[in-house]
Each structure stands twice: as C-alpha cells, then as structure tokens.
Amino acid sequence: MRYNFDHVDRVAIKVSIYVILSFTIIYILSSIVNVIPEVCMIILNTFLYVLGVLKPLWIALIIAYLLYPISVWIKKGLFKEIIKRRRKKEQNGEEIKKKERFKTFVSVLVTYVLIISIITTVIIMGFVMIKGKLETTNLDSLISGTKNYMDETKVFLESNLKARLDASHLLSTDLKDKVTEFVQGIGNVGQVIFDFIINLFSGIMDNLISFMLALVLAFYIMVDLEFFEKIYKEGQRLILPKRYCNRINRFLIEVDGVVSKFIRGQLLDCSIVAAISIISLSIVGLEYAFLVGLFAGLANIIPYFGPFIGVAVAVVIGLLSPEPITALYALIVLGVIQQIDGNILVPRIVGQSVGLHPVFILLAVIVGIQFGLVGMILAVPTAGVVKLVVLKIVAARKRKLES
C-alpha cells in the first residue's frame, strides 16, 4: 500500500519536526550544562597548579616591586657625582651602560644587605629577650601554671554561667546550648594556640625554599629590570595594537601610583605605631614589650581588624604574666595609640591614597578574609585598583553617550 503524501497534514509534520528539534536542543544544552562544572573545575585546578608552580616568581615580583624604590634611592645616594671628570658625550655608549649596570647591581646588593640586616637584628633581639626570660623562668612551671589558669577559668565560667542560664527564662534553649558550648571550648584555647603555632612554623618551613628562590629571582629582576621591560614592551607590541598598548601602560602607571602610595603610607604608619607601642608597653612593664609592640605595629597593616589583633595579643600576654594588671595597662595604652593613629596619623600619612569610603574598605577586608592573611593585607589596594577600573569604564561610557 502506498501513502499519498498530498493528503498528509503538513502542519503535523512541521510540529513533529519542531518537537524533535526542541528535544534535541534541550538534550544538547543539558549535556553542556552538566559538563560545565567539570570543565570549570579542571580549568580552576590547572590555574591553581600553575600558580603553585610559579609561586617563587609571584613572590619575587612582589619583593622586587617593594624593594626597587629603595634600591633607586640608595643608588642616587651612593653614586651622586658632584664633579664629573668626563662628560657623558665623551664617553662610549657601551661604557655608560656598563657603569649604569654596575651602579644598579651595587645598589640592589646594598638594599638586600640593609633589609636582611634589619630583619636579622629584630630576630636576634627577640630571641635574646625570650632567652633571657626563659633563663629566669621555669618553663615547666610556666606551662603547668598556664594550664591550671585556663582550667580554673573554664570551671569558674561553667559553674557560674550554667546557674545563671538555668535561672534565666528569657533565653531560648538553643541559645543556652550555644553559650554553653562556647564556654566549654574556652578550655581548649591553649591547645588551639599551640596547634596554630605549630601550623605556622610548618607553613614557614614549607615555603622557605620558595622564598629563598624568590629572593634570588627578585635580585636578578631588579638588576636587569631594563632588559625585562624591553621584553615586555616588544611582546606587547607583537600581540596588541599600539593604541591599546598606550592605554594599558597608562593604566598600569595609575595602578602603580595607587598601590605605591598605599604601601609607603602603610609602612610609615606601621613603623610609627610599632615604635610608640614598644616604648609605651615597656613603660607599663608588659613582658616581651618589644615583640608585642612590633607585632601590634605589623598587625596595623590590616585595616580595622589588625588593631584588635594586636591589642588581643598584648592582653593575653598581660594576663599570663605574674602581674595580670599589666593586661589592663596594655589595653589602655594600645587603645590610646590606636585612637591617635586613626584620627591623626592615618589621615595625614596614608590620607586618601586609595580614595575609598570606609564602608567599601571594610567590605574589601571582609572579602579578603576568605583568602587568609595575604588577602586581608592586599584587600585595600586591590579595592583601590577595582575602583580605578570602574571609574575608567564609567568615564568611557559617559564619553560614548555624549558623542
């Protein structure tokens, strides 16, 4: 039997084709959607692996960025020629390049020696201070006394707090349980601090090789900076049109201005806070005043949260000392220093280096917490760069609308 296709409903055929095509497209899209997470994870893992392999290079670039301005300043100070025996036009071009390279090499070397000497001096001073305290203190009695102090505090809080919670009818049962769990966890604070110190030193030892390799790479990067700049510019011209190269270079100069201002201001501010904290904590008689004050100054790099961390460390050291009243003195002293820093030093020294509202700075730090200590430190300059990008996009959009 032969079908007569002239009598077949053409509308039904079209609908059938549309339905088949629709289901085919849906199936293909669903397959792609199911594969997207796996592809993204592969790309992310590959990116993280490359970052891990190139970790010494990233660290070297950061070190070179931080130390190069110092080396330039040292170069100007060391090789300032008051009387020139020969004019530059009488010198050979190759000879001038060799002399400039030698000056750069010496200035970078002096920079390394200066920075390493400062760090070594601080470490030795801290070690001598701790060693002197340990020689006059029985370490076993200190550890056992600290443990007993934490246990007694835990028992006191549990007994008193439990009675008060049971007598309270305003709090819910879930909230009472949460408070009780929190108090019970106080007894484990000593173990938590010990584990943190162990993990910190383990992380330092794991990254020590990468850091040493980064120091070597940073040295060569600073010495041969002109060579690497030449490679960058030539590669940029091969990949991008000239107008885009100029835009990118101008943008990078602006980014460098924002970041360098922030770094210089923060380092100066932290140095002043550290010096004042060391002197003040020494006056009130806090043990390890030098190390605690130095830590308070370094913690000041982290906006908002850093000062609280420095104060917390000083209070804990004071509570564990033979005279717990020094914890109150340290709290008052560091509180006054932070008020002076926040209202006088930061506005004048750091100023509007990134030009961000305090709300955005706080949000940036909260986001940076997700990436650890480095994220908290880099949160503000990163937010400043993001602000610069957004302003450029908005300005370009306005120009386009006006034209």
Residue 167 covered by a domain: no
Q: Could you read off the pLDDT of 18-45 as tens digits, one per residue? A: 888 888 888 888 777 777 778 788 887 8
The dihedral built from the CA positions of residue 294, 195, 60 and 350, taken in this order, carries a sign that is: negative
**How far out from the chain centre does Cα 12 lie?**
65
> pTM value?
0.63
CA atoms within 13 A on the CB side of 17: 6
Neighbours of 162 (CB within 10 A): 14
CB 218 within 8 A of CB 68: no
Residue 12 included in any domain:
yes
Return the percent helix, strand and coil in the chain, to nearest 5: 85, 0, 15
Show pLDDT as tens, one digit a residue, over the chain (403 residues). Answer: 455 555 556 667 777 788 888 888 888 887 777 777 787 888 878 887 887 778 888 888 888 888 888 888 888 887 765 444 444 445 566 777 788 888 888 888 999 998 888 888 877 876 776 666 555 555 555 556 555 666 666 666 566 656 665 655 555 566 656 656 655 555 555 555 556 556 656 666 667 778 888 889 999 999 888 888 888 888 888 888 878 888 888 888 888 888 887 887 788 888 888 899 889 888 988 888 888 888 888 888 877 777 888 888 888 888 777 787 888 888 899 889 888 887 777 766 665 666 777 777 778 878 877 776 667 777 888 888 888 888 888 888 888 887 7
Residue 26 within any structural domain of the chain: yes
Domain membership of residue 16 (yes or no) is yes
Domain-located, residue 19 = yes
Q: Tell me: the pLDDT tens digits for 136-145?
A: 555 555 556 5
Q: Within a domain: residue 43? A: yes
Q: What is the dihedral of CA 317, 321, 324, 329, to 10 degrees?
A: -50
Pair of tokens at residue 98: 């060799």
Residue 383 domain flag: no
Contact 269, 349 (CB under 8 A): yes
186: Cβ contacts below 8 Å, ≥ 6 apart: 150, 153, 154, 157
Q: Are 31 and 39 within 8 A, CB to CB?
A: no
Could you tell me if residue 38 is inside a domain? yes
Rounded to an integer, what is the distance from CA 370 to the centroid of its chain? 11
Q: Which domain holds residue 47?
A: 7-52
Reading the block at residue 221, the tokens are: 């990067």
Residues near 133 by beta carbon (within 8 Å), at least 6 away in sequence? 287, 288
Cβ-Cβ contacts under 8 Å for 360 (sequence gap 6 or more): 383, 387
Counting the structural domains of the chain, the total is 1
Give the model's pLDDT for residue 217: 92
